[in-house]
Amino acid sequence: MLDNVRIDQVRSFSYLGTVVNVNNTLEEEIREGIAKGNKAFCANKTLFKSNLVSRKSKLKLYWSVIRPTVVYGCKTWVVKESIIQKLSVFEGKILRKIFGPTKEANGIWRVKTNKELDELINTVTH
Protein backbone atom coordinates (compact mmCIF):
# COMPACT_ATOMS: atom_id res chain seq x y z
CA MET A 1 0.00 0.00 0.00
CA LEU A 2 1.17 3.49 -0.82
CA ASP A 3 -1.06 6.41 0.13
CA ASN A 4 -4.00 3.99 0.47
CA VAL A 5 -3.41 2.70 -3.06
CA ARG A 6 -2.77 -0.99 -3.50
CA ILE A 7 0.28 -1.69 -5.66
CA ASP A 8 0.54 -5.18 -7.09
CA GLN A 9 3.89 -6.90 -7.26
CA VAL A 10 4.71 -8.65 -10.54
CA ARG A 11 7.48 -11.06 -11.43
CA SER A 12 8.15 -9.42 -14.81
CA PHE A 13 6.92 -6.62 -17.04
CA SER A 14 7.68 -5.15 -20.42
CA TYR A 15 9.19 -1.67 -20.48
CA LEU A 16 10.23 0.10 -23.69
CA GLY A 17 10.40 -3.20 -25.56
CA THR A 18 12.52 -5.04 -22.99
CA VAL A 19 11.43 -7.44 -20.29
CA VAL A 20 12.35 -6.56 -16.71
CA ASN A 21 12.07 -9.41 -14.20
CA VAL A 22 12.88 -10.13 -10.57
CA ASN A 23 15.82 -12.39 -11.45
CA ASN A 24 17.33 -9.86 -13.88
CA THR A 25 17.76 -12.57 -16.53
CA LEU A 26 17.39 -12.36 -20.30
CA GLU A 27 15.76 -15.71 -21.02
CA GLU A 28 12.23 -14.31 -20.98
CA GLU A 29 13.25 -11.39 -23.20
CA ILE A 30 14.94 -13.77 -25.66
CA ARG A 31 11.83 -15.98 -25.74
CA GLU A 32 9.63 -12.96 -26.41
CA GLY A 33 11.99 -11.69 -29.12
CA ILE A 34 11.97 -15.06 -30.87
CA ALA A 35 8.18 -15.23 -30.58
CA LYS A 36 7.93 -11.76 -32.15
CA GLY A 37 10.31 -12.88 -34.90
CA ASN A 38 8.11 -15.93 -35.57
CA LYS A 39 5.07 -13.63 -35.78
CA ALA A 40 6.90 -11.35 -38.21
CA PHE A 41 7.87 -14.36 -40.32
CA CYS A 42 4.32 -15.72 -40.32
CA ALA A 43 2.95 -12.28 -41.27
CA ASN A 44 5.22 -12.35 -44.33
CA LYS A 45 4.93 -16.07 -45.03
CA THR A 46 3.42 -15.59 -48.47
CA LEU A 47 6.50 -13.60 -49.54
CA PHE A 48 8.89 -16.19 -48.11
CA LYS A 49 7.05 -19.06 -49.83
CA SER A 50 6.62 -17.30 -53.16
CA ASN A 51 8.67 -18.48 -56.11
CA LEU A 52 8.29 -15.00 -57.61
CA VAL A 53 10.44 -13.43 -54.87
CA SER A 54 14.19 -14.02 -55.21
CA ARG A 55 16.24 -15.55 -52.41
CA LYS A 56 18.25 -12.34 -52.24
CA SER A 57 15.05 -10.37 -51.58
CA LYS A 58 13.95 -12.90 -48.99
CA LEU A 59 17.29 -12.54 -47.21
CA LYS A 60 16.98 -8.76 -47.28
CA LEU A 61 13.50 -9.04 -45.80
CA TYR A 62 14.84 -11.34 -43.08
CA TRP A 63 17.78 -9.04 -42.27
CA SER A 64 15.74 -5.83 -42.33
CA VAL A 65 12.48 -6.91 -40.64
CA ILE A 66 12.68 -10.19 -38.77
CA ARG A 67 16.20 -10.18 -37.36
CA PRO A 68 15.92 -6.65 -35.88
CA THR A 69 12.60 -7.64 -34.31
CA VAL A 70 14.26 -10.58 -32.55
CA VAL A 71 17.37 -8.77 -31.33
CA TYR A 72 15.74 -5.46 -30.36
CA GLY A 73 17.59 -4.15 -27.30
CA CYS A 74 20.51 -6.56 -27.72
CA LYS A 75 23.07 -3.83 -27.05
CA THR A 76 22.12 -4.06 -23.38
CA TRP A 77 22.36 -7.86 -23.21
CA VAL A 78 25.09 -9.75 -21.43
CA VAL A 79 25.52 -12.45 -24.03
CA LYS A 80 25.95 -16.01 -22.82
CA GLU A 81 26.49 -19.14 -24.87
CA SER A 82 22.90 -20.26 -24.22
CA ILE A 83 21.56 -17.02 -25.72
CA ILE A 84 23.80 -17.34 -28.78
CA GLN A 85 22.59 -20.93 -29.22
CA LYS A 86 18.90 -19.94 -29.07
CA LEU A 87 19.37 -17.12 -31.55
CA SER A 88 21.41 -19.36 -33.89
CA VAL A 89 18.70 -22.02 -33.84
CA PHE A 90 16.06 -19.42 -34.72
CA GLU A 91 18.16 -17.96 -37.53
CA GLY A 92 18.92 -21.43 -38.93
CA LYS A 93 15.22 -22.29 -38.92
CA ILE A 94 14.33 -19.18 -40.91
CA LEU A 95 17.23 -19.59 -43.35
CA ARG A 96 16.28 -23.22 -43.96
CA LYS A 97 12.76 -22.08 -44.81
CA ILE A 98 14.15 -19.49 -47.22
CA PHE A 99 16.52 -21.89 -48.99
CA GLY A 100 14.46 -25.08 -48.68
CA PRO A 101 15.68 -28.68 -48.48
CA THR A 102 18.38 -30.37 -50.56
CA LYS A 103 17.64 -33.29 -52.85
CA GLU A 104 20.34 -35.95 -52.77
CA ALA A 105 21.46 -37.91 -55.83
CA ASN A 106 19.41 -40.90 -54.64
CA GLY A 107 16.24 -38.74 -54.62
CA ILE A 108 15.97 -38.35 -50.84
CA TRP A 109 15.34 -34.87 -49.44
CA ARG A 110 17.35 -33.61 -46.47
CA VAL A 111 17.76 -30.45 -44.40
CA LYS A 112 20.64 -28.16 -45.33
CA THR A 113 23.60 -27.97 -42.96
CA ASN A 114 24.83 -24.73 -41.40
CA LYS A 115 27.88 -24.82 -43.69
CA GLU A 116 25.65 -25.13 -46.76
CA LEU A 117 23.54 -22.20 -45.55
CA ASP A 118 26.66 -20.05 -45.07
CA GLU A 119 27.85 -20.90 -48.60
CA LEU A 120 24.42 -20.11 -50.08
CA ILE A 121 24.25 -16.77 -48.29
CA ASN A 122 27.71 -15.87 -49.63
CA THR A 123 26.77 -16.80 -53.20
CA VAL A 124 23.42 -14.98 -53.07
CA THR A 125 24.81 -11.77 -51.56
CA HIS A 126 27.93 -11.53 -53.76
Each residue of 5-64: pLDDT tens digit?
888 888 878 777 777 777 777 888 888 899 999 999 999 999 999 999 999 999 999 999
Indicate the pTM of the whole model. 0.78
What pLDDT shows up at residue 86? 93
Each residue of 94-106: pLDDT tens digit?
999 999 999 999 9
Helices first, then strands: H and E counts in the chain = 6, 4
Each residue of 74-86: pLDDT tens digit?
887 888 898 899 9
Identify the band that residue 125 occupies on the pLDDT scale cut at 50, 70 and 90: confident
